[in-house]
Structure 1
Amino acid sequence: MARGGRGGQEGRGGRGGQGLARVAVVLRAGAAPLWWLGVFAAGIGVILPGMTGRRIGVMGGAALFVVGAVAVACTRRRRYAALAGAAARAGKHDVLQDRAVTVRNWRRGHRWWLLLAFLVALGSSFAVPAAGGMLLAGTGTGLRLKAAWLGRRERDGDALLWVRVDWLDGRAGRPAGKTVRAYRGTGIAAGDAAPGGSRRSTAALV
């Protein structure tokens, strides 16, 4: 099994292998930009009095933050669980894409959606101050929670979950979309990302 893929979105590895991206890393790729864009939009929005007033806006935004985080964290868990349970072993010629490459490709492919989400969240503050930004931050938190849940499954099963890179192209990079027909698994030490998609510690890499 090849160690890493540092190129773009390779669909195939050498000798018939496939380019594979970590499922948890794909989930985490959107968490940070959604969180920070949401915080920024909420910070600007709270300055505006809006139609409802700041107090109602912030209280409503707090509720939306919780709802957004829970909804994103729980959505399609059965689909993820089914794919994880049926994951086949990765082949020796499969190419494991580096964490940084997966994150960069996802964010590059979603940059206009992220910008649009930020503008909508900011614009909503003219009606309900800060609420849209807090909802956006909640979706980022939900993605991180879902990645953490998947990481616990990976630790319990002692196997990391991967998805073919070419299956991420067609459905907005969703690791459990209709184009994704199966996951592949590797040992817990494969690749450069820990269970759940976070960076491996320096000690773990030695």
Structure 2
Amino acid sequence: MNSYDFSLVEEQDPSVAEGHRVLYDREVPFEIRNQTDPNDPSQELGTLEAIKVKILIMGEEQNPLTLRIELTSETDLFFHFNHNLDEHGFRQVQEHQKLMVDFPEYPNVLIRMLNNCIKEPHSHLAVFVIEREGLARLDFIQNMEYKFVELLSCNFIASPEDVIRAHICFRYNTLKSRLSLVQSRLQDIESVIKVKNPSLLLQLSKASTSRSGMK
């Protein structure tokens, strides 16, 4: 019953509400730079954070109609940015950045770059620059030892308040369901131990009480 309830919560993910499918969902190290004030030189300094990156597509994986990237943070519930692109918009990006891939290959290119940032964080960098009026930019940069080379840049916008609210509610309900599952499993284990070895249950209870007291 608990597993069924949890699956229902997953189906309520706002990210897939419009029919999108998740291709990628991982935490990636980002350097966050806040450049809301271009006259403040201190804003050039970035902070390293683990940002959850979710890549979704509408349509078939080999021939997507649209692509969306969602960025969220576990340390800031209101951090929510998105990047949306269809084939027409991609052509402009392709021409401007001189990309040698077509739109169907774009999701895999992004996934490969994100994975490189996880596996080789010293040579592959993801720099997220927050600008004014809810605009932002994600730059993929490679450290070539003698210089930094910008590989790809993606424009982002801050998500509307109602979208952020929906995602916060979803994350809260997901954690609540997981907690319920863990508590239910713990009760099952306690019931088994109580029958098989009551003294062990008493010992575990005392140990738990002792650790709580130390806190």
Q: Give TM-score, length-normalised by structure 2.
A: 0.24
Would you tell me which structure has more strand in proportion to its own residues?
2
Higher relative contact order (CA 8 A, sep 6+): 1
